[in-house]
């Protein structure tokens, strides 16, 4: 749901429910992926929102998850990826025809709640 709200193209997902509690999962999107790992016994969840593209809104996905988990102390960290710093150039993503083109920096938004 967070990926769709952010405007992502969802390709598939895989989740695992641990016993007695906790979940790990990934949502594969055309623009990269979202992953989550939860430790409910500690009231903790770690989420990676790894995206590229000009229309995707990773902050919308993060806000949705913060609200859904009723996080009282969320921490967001944005990491710019996709540059060759020694050459000062971006790494273009060239998918098959009809795919998402990502020729700007990839943004990874890590959320800890």
Catalytic one of 33, 52, 102, 113:
52
* CA torsion angle 47 52 56 59 (round to 10): 40
* Catalytic member of 13, 24, 35, 37: 37
Catalytic residue among 32, 33, 102, 113: 32
Active site residue 52: yes
Residues sharing a CB contact under 8 Å with residue 19, sequence separation 6 or more, in sequence order: none
Q: Is 32 a catalytic residue?
A: yes
Does the annotation mark 93 as catalytic? no
Give the bridge partners for 102, in sequence order.
Answer: 93
Instruction: Give catalytic residue positions.
Output: 32, 37, 52
């Amino acid at each position: 749901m967070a990926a769709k709200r952010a405007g992502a193209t969802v390709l598939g997902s895989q989740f695992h429910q641990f016993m007695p509690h906790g979940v790990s999962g990934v949502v594969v999107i055309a623009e990269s992926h979202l992953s989550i790992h939860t430790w409910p016994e500690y009231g903790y969840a770690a989420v990676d929102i790894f995206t590229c593209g000009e229309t995707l809104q990773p902050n919308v996905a993060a806000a949705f998850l913060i609200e859904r988990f009723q996080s009282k102390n969320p921490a967001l960290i944005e990491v710019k990826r996709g540059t060759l710093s020694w050459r000062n150039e971006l790494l273009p993503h060239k998918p098959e025809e009809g795919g998402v083109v990502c020729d700007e920096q990839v943004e990874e938004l890590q959320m800890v709640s």
